[in-house]
Amino acid sequence: DDAIKLDPAALLHLSIASNANVSSNANINYIPTVHPSSSHTMSNSLIVGGHVVDIEMHPYQVSVRELNEHICGGSIITNRWVLTAGHCVDDTIAAYMNVRVGSAFYAKGGTIHPVDSVTTHPDHVPYSWLADFALLQLKHAIVFSTIAQPIALAFRLDNALSDRECVVTGWGRTLNEEESFDKLRAVQIPLVSRVLCNATYEGKIDQTMICAGDFVDGGKGSCAYDSGGPLVCGDMQVGIVSWGKGCAMPGYPDVYSSVLYARAWINSIVHNSIE
């Protein structure tokens, strides 16, 4: 499958699946990110669901591409930087990569931006979900508009955020062969406490990770084939699609890389790139 970049037996690419209403209006305090210019059990199962959305609703979402094929999701954090998952770039070469910005379709529209450099978190272990963060520096600046905007990054994630409704977006395939997967989809899911998530995943949830999903009923959340996409609460990105058990299974929340954990590293990389 062209949409699968890496061996699903080695790591998990995620997609969106749900029948929930989509919204991202939770009232959470945040600060904007800096701007240069101003599984446990692996699975490649697929599930039906999600809501088709326009890019204007989530203008920070991008398609990360290698050799002109969609491999992962990502998010705009400045006019020159895109945030994605570390495992998305473990076997890539920057010269072969680009990012599609400003389109709800991963295969058409918007603007193509070549990638200049790829930086993974220093603690990331290749072909794993450990410290699963990567930054893509673009060769040319994104021109911000209604279809291309940066997302603010988390600076605090406390107990008050547990059970808050958040939104995850992406281009994952579905089981319904008649249902198009080429347009962006979104689904609302609540954050799940680390204590509860760790009980489920036998202590494997470390400080680099957060969890989200419908813990009790399942049926909405992430699945195979679109890692790297953003998990957003209100107007703030708190997570990056990373891994999980199965697809939106009851009792098994999806696991996301914690943007809060990586915030200092992200800022240091972006600041150091400013000339």
Q: Is residue 87 annotated as part of the catalytic site, yes or no?
A: yes
Q: Is residue 227 annotated as part of the catalytic site, yes or no?
A: yes
Please, which contacts does 110-118 make with residues 24 or more away whose CB atoms are closer than 8 Å? 110/55, 110/147, 110/148, 111/142, 111/143, 111/148, 112/65, 113/138, 113/139, 113/140, 113/142, 114/138, 114/139, 114/140, 115/139, 118/89, 118/92, 118/94
**Catalytic residue of the set 227, 242, 257, 258:** 227
**Catalytic residue of the set 63, 90, 113, 132:** 132
Per residue in 222-242, pLDDT tens?
A: 666 678 999 999 889 999 999
Per residue in 90-147, pLDDT tens?
A: 999 999 999 999 999 999 999 999 999 999 999 999 999 999 999 999 999 999 999 9
Domains with residue ranges and CATH for the chain: 59-150+263-272 (2.40.10.10), 151-260 (2.40.10.10)
